[in-house]
Amino acid sequence: MCDELKVIERVLNGDVDAFGILVKRYEKQIVNYIYRMIGDYQDALELSQEVFLKAYLALKSYKSEYSFSTWLYKIAKNRTIDFVRKRKLNTVSIEGQGNEDSLKPQYEDSGLKPDEVFEKKRRANLVEKAVKQLPFEYREVIIMYHIDGLKYEEISEILDLPIGTVKNRIFRARKLLKEILEGEI
């Protein structure tokens, strides 16, 4: 975090190129979050660029007592919601689009037998499809908590929700996922 504050200070003092350090650090996470929310890799790339542009332009409003990543996720969340509203996406296609290989886990040299690797991939695909079927407010908390590894407090801050609501949404999302996946796995 201290490192980020130094980079932010450099940017605010006119070192425009220093912002690239922050982009490089968070680009994959932001693209991954947006992709998993909207289901289209190309749109996720474009939206992430908009997120970083907005972050750059609003950097003066960043308050250093908050985590930069939380602030950035909040911008990404708001931009994603705007995109979804604009496109009126109530659900996303369960068919993956774009180059999603860079975002999917790889199973190289896992020590598993080929049939175990296949089964693991099959289950991962089923779970991914099930997550995409969740309502938006459940999908975003599941992605933030289980995929991006954010803590309840960070999710609460990003979504402007009480921690209890975050926990409740995660609980309900898991319950819905279980219902969707029953009989599939």
80 and 50 within one domain: yes
Write 2-5 long-range contacts (CB < 8 A, 24+): 4/68, 5/64
CATH classification at residue 2: 1.10.1740.10
Residue where one domain finishes, among candidates 46, 63, 92: 92
84 and 150 within one domain: no
One-letter amino acid of 165:
T
Cβ atoms of 112 and 154 within 8 Å: the answer is no
Cβ atoms of 129 and 94 within 8 Å: the answer is yes
Q: Is residue 97 assigned to a domain?
A: no
Low-confidence ranges of the chain (pLDDT < 70): 1-2, 88-112, 183-185
> In Å, what is the CA distance from 182 to each residue of 52, 82, 139?
39, 33, 18
86 and 127 within one domain: no
Q: Containing domain of residue 170, as a range?
A: 104-185
How many helices, marked H, and strands, marked E, lie in the chain? 8, 0
For residue 85 the two structure tokens come to 């509203």
Cβ atoms of 138 and 146 within 8 Å: the answer is no
Per the document, the length of the chain is 185
For residue 141 the two structure tokens come to 């908390």
Residue where one domain finishes, among candidates 43, 60, 92: 92
- Which ranges of the chain does DSSP label H, i.e. alpha helix? 2-12, 19-38, 41-57, 68-87, 114-133, 136-142, 152-159, 163-181
Q: CA nearest 157: which of 55, 73, 81, 76?
A: 73
Number of separate domains in the chain: 2
88 and 134 within one domain: no
pLDDT of residue 165: 95
pLDDT of residue 88: 64
185 and 122 within one domain: yes
pLDDT of residue 8: 92
pLDDT of residue 33: 93
User: Tell me: the pLDDT tens digits for 156-169?
Assistant: 999 999 999 999 99
Q: Is residue 157 assigned to a domain?
A: yes
113 and 83 within one domain: no
137 and 64 within one domain: no
pLDDT of residue 171: 96
Q: Is residue 98 assigned to a domain?
A: no
> In Å, what is the CA distance from 85 to each residue of 8, 38, 54, 169, 184?
31, 11, 19, 21, 31
Q: Is residue 161 assigned to a domain?
A: yes
Residue where one domain finishes, among candidates 63, 92, 121: 92
pLDDT of residue 11: 92
Q: CA nearest 23: which of 62, 64, 69, 60?
A: 69
7 and 74 within one domain: yes
109 and 76 within one domain: no
